[in-house]
Amino acid sequence: MLTKTAVTDAQVAALVAPLGAVARVEPLPGGLFASVLRADLADGRRVVVKVTGADTSRLLRYEHGVLGTEAAVDRLAHAAGLPVPRVLRHDTTREHVDGDALVVTFLDGDLWSTADLDAAATRRARRALGSFMSRLHAITGGRFGYPAPESRLGADSWPDAVTAMVRAVADDAARWGVDLPSGRLLDAVARYRDLLADVTTPRLVHADLWPGNVLVDPGGAVVGVLDAERALWGDPLFELVGADQLGVGAVDADLLAGYRAAGGDLGVGDGALGSGDPDAWTRLRLYRAYFACLLVVEVVPRAYRGDWVAAHERAARANLGRMLAELGA
C-alpha cells in the first residue's frame, strides 16, 4: 500500500523558513501518495506544502517524478496568467524531509467536487473549465509524453509517446499480476498510428481536471486549478479523459462551448457521439482505453479498500472493453 511520508510541524517550518516564520500548520485532504499541509505564516500569508515519499516502489511508471512535473507545469501556467498556484520552493535536497517537497501559494475557493452549486453555476463552471483548458493548451513544448525524466516516457512524436505509455502500463500490469488486454490496445495504437501522427505540436495537457482538482466561487467561476502532477505534452483531446475519467460516451457540451469561446476546437463537434471529426473520436477512444488501463492497474499497488473498489474496477474494465470493441481491437 502506498504510504505517505509523515511530516511534522517542525519539518514544515524548516521547509518554509526561507519564506517566513510559520504560525500554524494544518493537514489538507486529498493526495494519494503525497502529504499535503497548509502553513499559515506569521505575516498573514498562507502556503501549501506537498511532500512525496522517497520510496517509489509502488508507483506506476508514469507517476515517477510527478512533483517535479507539478512544479514545472505550475510555473508555465502561472506565467501564462492561468489561475494556478505560484511555486515558491521546490526542494529536492531531502535535507528536511524524506522525500521531495513543493511549496506553493494557497488559493482561496471551494473544491468543485464538494461545492454547493446550483444548475446555472454548474453550467458556468463547465464553460469556465473549458476556457481554462483552451488557454492551457496554447502552451507548447518541444517533446511529447510525460515530462519527468524519471518516467522515461518522453518521445519525439505523439505516436511513439502513446506507444511507450501503453507499454509502460502493460509492464506495470505484469509486475503487479493484473490481467489486462494490453496487447489489443497496442495493436489498436499501431493500427491508428497515422491518426496519432496528425498531432504534430506537443501541447500542455493537465490530464487530471476532475472537479476535485478545480476550485470555484459560489457563482461557478473557476478560481483555481490544482495538482498538475500528471500533466503531459500531447494531444489536447487527452484532457477530456482526465476531466471525465470513467466517461465513454458524449462529451459535455458546456465544456466544449467554453473551449471554443476561448478560441480552441477539439474536433468532437458539440460533444454528441458522431458529431465532429471521426478521427478525433478515434483518438479519444484510444486515450480512454489507455486511461482505463491505468485505473484498473493502480488498484493493486495502491491497495484500495472499501465497498466502492470492486464497482470502480468493474466500471473501468467495462470501459476498456467497450473502447477496444469500438476501436475494432
Which residues are 34's β-sheet partners?
Answer: 52
Question: In angstroms, rounded to a whole number, what is the distance separating the alpha carbons of residues 98 and 210?
Answer: 29
Q: CA torsion angle for 226, 16, 44, 38 (degrees, to 10)?
A: 40
Name the residue type at position 324: L
CA-wise closest residue to 240 among 290, 274, 196:
290
Read off the C-alpha cell for 112.
468543485
Question: In angstroms, rounded to a whole number, what is the distance separating the alpha carbons of residues 54 and 65?
Answer: 11
Per-residue pLDDT of the chain (329 residues; tens, 9 = 90+): 456 778 999 999 999 999 999 999 999 986 667 899 999 999 999 999 999 987 889 999 999 999 999 999 999 999 999 999 999 999 999 999 999 999 999 999 999 999 999 999 999 999 999 999 999 999 999 999 999 999 999 999 999 999 999 999 999 999 999 999 999 999 999 999 999 999 999 999 999 999 999 999 999 999 999 999 999 999 999 999 999 999 999 999 999 999 999 999 999 999 999 999 999 999 999 999 999 999 999 999 999 999 999 999 999 999 999 999 999 97
Q: What is the CATH number of domain 9-105?
A: 3.30.200.20
Question: In angstroms, rounded to a whole number, what is the distance separating the alpha carbons of residues 68 and 314?
Answer: 33
- Asked whether 290 and 166 are in contact (CB, 8 A), the reply is yes
Which CATH number is 110-326's, of 1.10.3720.10, 3.40.50.2000, 3.90.1200.10, 3.90.1150.150? Answer: 3.90.1200.10
CA-wise closest residue to 177 among 309, 316, 300:
300
pTM check: above 0.75: yes
Extents of the domains making up the chain = 9-105, 110-326
